[in-house]
Amino acid sequence: MQILVKTFASLRDVAERETMVCIEEGAVVGDLMEVLFRRYPGLEEALFSSPGELKRFVNILVNGRNIHFMRGMDTVLHDGDRVVLFPPAGGG
């Protein structure tokens, strides 16, 4: 299945702003991350504080919904899903 991934802000220093990922049916967000980390070697350090541990403030939205309120890295993906990775700004 095809998943569209978009990155924002500082993540664009280590990954393309938009990329299409072909992944097996039934894959979860964690599987998608592994594909992305192989494609963009600097992305894991930008997203994870330790292996498998997403930095708490990094948002991953699947079709606009934050995975924090779903099943986190175990959130199941579906063909055509749009996944957005963005570290929110905090300054004012």
Partner 1 sequence: MLTPADRERYRRQLPLIGDEGQERLREAAVLVAGAGGLGTSIALHCAYAGIGRIRIVDQDRVDLSNLNRQILYRDADLGKSKAVAAAERLRGAGPHLRVEPVEASIDAENVRELAEGVDLILDGMDNFDARYLLADAARECAVPFIHGAIHGFFGQVTTIIPETTPCLRCIVPHPPPGGAVPILGVTAGVIGCMQTAEAIKWLAGTGDLLAGRLLLWDGLRAETEVLAVEGDAACPVCGEHRRKCE
User: Interface residues for partner 1 in 15-44 (CB under 8 A)?
Assistant: 17
Position among 50, 51, 56, 79 found at the interface with partner 1 (CB under 8 A): 56
Q: Which of 4, 9, 38, 41 binds partner 1 (CB under 8 A)?
A: 9
Compute how many residues bind partner 1; rule: CB under 8 A: 25
User: Smallest gap, in angstroms, from Cβ of residue 24 to partner 1?
Assistant: 25
- In 3D space, the residue among 80, 58, 81 whose CA is nearest the CA of residue 68 turns out to be 58
The answer to whether 87 contacts partner 1 (rule: CB under 8 A) is yes
Cα gap 42→57, rounded to integer Å: 18
Distance between CA 14 and CA 43 in Å, rounded?
6
Q: From the CB of 87, what's the least distance to partner 1, in Å? A: 6
14 binds partner 1 (CB under 8 A): no
